[in-house]
Structure 1
Amino acid sequence: MKKTFIISLVTLVILGVAYSAGIGFYAEKFQANTTFGTVDISNLSLPEAQAKIEDELNAESITVKENGQVLGTFTVGDLNGQINTEDVLTSTYNSQNPTEWLGGYFSSVEYDNVLMNSLQIDDADLSAVLSEVGLNNTDREAATDAYIDYQDGRGYFVQDATNGNQLDLEEVKDLIVTGLQDGVGEIEINQAYLEPEVTADSEDIQSLMNRIDELTSTKLTLNIAGNEVTIPQEKIEEWLYFDGNNNPVFDQNLIYEYLGTLNEQYATYMSYRTFNSTLQGQVTVDPGTLGWSISRDEESAQIAADLLAGEDITRDPIIAGTGYNSSGDDIGSTYVEVDLTNQMMYYYRDGALMLETPIVSGMGNNHAVPTPTIAGAYSIWNKERDATLVGVNQQRGNDYEQPVSYWLPFDDTGQGIHDANWQSSFGGDIYQYAGSQGCINTPPGVMAQLFEMVEVGTPVIVF
């Protein structure tokens, strides 16, 4: 019994000494079965582990494939990668309990997924190495973002994004590091293509398309002289564009052009007119100052504002000129008619003849220096009592100042209707030798009546 006790005690002493020696050894070493990624750092000191990890990682080869085809091979060392393991190894080292060293022989400690923050690869170095195996991004097709486009006849639509084969260097780095961690020496770079940043279902694209639909579906109707003209949706789409901040803008130059086509169709300014005269029946009247057109500058701005508001609207356009009404007939049934051929003037109110008189118009073409009345459609733009007419007598070549009791100017060259007490008679062919400088000379008594009857804006039709 005594011998057995002595042997057991010796054994315990030996085991205790060995255990204590293990504690001393592993106080400066990584415990058994410790790996850093694929590198075994068991029983190594901190500097030894760092050196081994760096040496083995730099020697690791990486084979690059694209769609299964091998393009080339390089090592981590070729990448000039910075392997920064000191912090994580020191932390790991300090976290070990040397008194538990024996357990390391019965279990393993693996530090996986730590290379991601420990291995740093520079973009320029990676690009240079990839170029050596034929992977230069400048020679590869870039992905394109989805965008909104416009085509005549189609309107606005979303052009889908397209995939390219340019490489995302950050993704390539991740593939390299993941392969090193997992012990896989091959990477398939078709997993690292740069993707479009904007796709057809991106929120910005969809939001913008919804805004376009809202703006282009606006119903804007112009009531032009009794004609309802709804601006076509394709026109609205054609006018719409977006500035650098994606704010909608309507091109007022294009709107201006469109309004020109409406003026050609509906406006009366500078238009020839068919007129039912008292003595000659239907005649053609030259253009004059009478007439209206859509004010293109003002109306272009108003249409752009209406469309941006995005609300359906029906309204009259902004009109420039005279004689505008809902019927489209700017002469109407109240007007002054001057028949130069017959040297007669008539005044109609609401279609009823209120006054007629012979007149003397501008000096006829039979005279050596004619000053004929310029035919056209005009309107009275002023009424003045006791006016003085001034000008140059073209026949005598002298200035004149002629007082009149009643003055009704109707054009922008000085023509008008006035009394002429110097004329001994009116009508017939008097205008051929005693005509005016272009005005309509009227018997004084009749002129007084006409002056009281007519209003500013009354059409004057001269033919």
Structure 2
Amino acid sequence: MKRGKHARHAKEADVTAMPDAPRELGRDSAEPASPAAEPAGSHGAHAADSAADAALMNPVDVSAALAARRKRSGARVAALVMGALAGIVAVAYLAGAVAFWHWFPPGTTLGPLDVSLKSPDEAARIIDAGASRYTVKVTGGGFSYQADSALIGAQIDAAALVARMHERLNPFAWPMLLAKPHHDMSDLLTASYNASGLSDSVTKAVEAFNEKAQAPVSAQVAYDSATSSFQVRKERFGTALNVDAVLELVDHAIVSMQPVARITEGQLQAPAVSADDERVSSARDEANAMLRADVRVTIDGDEVARVNADKVAAWVSIDDDYQVSLDEDGLRSDMEAAFAPYNTVGATRTYTRPDGRTFTVSGGVYGWSVDSDKAVEDVLAAVREGSVTEVAVGFASKGAQPSVNGGPDWGDRYVDVDLGAQHATFYDGGRVIWESDIVSGEPDGVHYTPTGVWWTNRKASPTTLNGYEGDKKIYSTEVSYWMPFQGNAIGFHDAPWQAAFGGTRYRDGFGSHGCVNLPPAAARDLYAVLQEGDCVVVHG
């Protein structure tokens, strides 16, 4: 056949040409070997068959195929190994899950109880035993208390507790459980106990401790002399315990079966008021406002007292409710001490009469008297307003002259009543303008004539004198001349009923009820020269 013939020829041509293959191909190698040209119609077919035959005759490289075969074989082996390992892991995982379904993982604790690698039943028995032996000690801050198991009477539902532990410790997550060294289940503990009996016991122990403990101190407002101002002092904890807080601490320890409960600041009695309380700062500001006062207290232009911050601070007080008050009594006392040298009323004075005799007298209402009520009111107002000012002090009464070194302040016009001599003398400018024997009050401790320096209060002519003992009138006597010097009760008056005057009649049963009895003529003459406001000096 024609195609077969061409194929054979092509194969033979290839074999014939093989010895020349090494030569460099050029134009000569492209020349046809046959002497006669092929018909035009068969040339294309022959060329295609030659190319196909040439391709079939080329050498084949099998190394890539072998490598692919080896790769496919390794993958199958690896898959088999991985499958085997996965099976082993699955079996181990399931085995672990089964194991930790029946035992708790290592490091599992309930407060002081260790249930590591224990079965639920074993764990329940440990829990029951722990509850029956449980004691708690409360200590800290000098306080120590221990409650034994009999007093506590702790009880735990062990079965329910174990169930809650299993819910938290998922056995299927056992690899993670093993990775964590500790599993504290204390927060699941909910022990019940003899709350009433234990509460009484703890309360008694705390109260006994508090008897000698230091109580807390609330924030205070106190004067600081270094800054001349009131400052806030922070509150301070003491050592006294808060019963309720200690009971709460014990309760927390018992329900979680902690063996020791530590006293901290949280169990101390807290100060009632802290430094940041608005009442504290308000009291401080109110007190400091008064410290701004600076008051010069003067008498006749002379400074007798200076009221400044240090002085005011002694009068300011702040109570437990942080109410600020000014000690008016203290202020008055201090002011009166400053005024004392200027007050002669009632003071002891020594004088020499024109006849050369010297006497000492005290008491009475005559003399210099600072108007302390008005002065104190003015100083109080200035302090409350925090004013810088001067308070000029006046006198409620004035003597005729200043008292120098305890001397007389009544000048040289006065009536001298000498009870010892039973004689009265009116001096004016060093001379006697009137005198008379007298009968004074009976010296029985009730009807005596009071000594002292007095003012003549008024004059009346005539008038009726009424005497009383309590509410009972004991006499009513009309007199022609009445010149009282102690209120309207004791004074000079005519006494026509007296048979004589002077001597010892006043103590021989003829003494008056306290007045100075005069002969009618002497009373008339005294009434003529005595003026309201004249000084009367009565001495023994």
The two structures have a TM-score, normalised by structure 2, of 0.43
Relative contact order higher in (CA < 8 Å, ≥ 6 apart): 1
Structure number having the greater helix percentage: 2
Larger Rg: 2
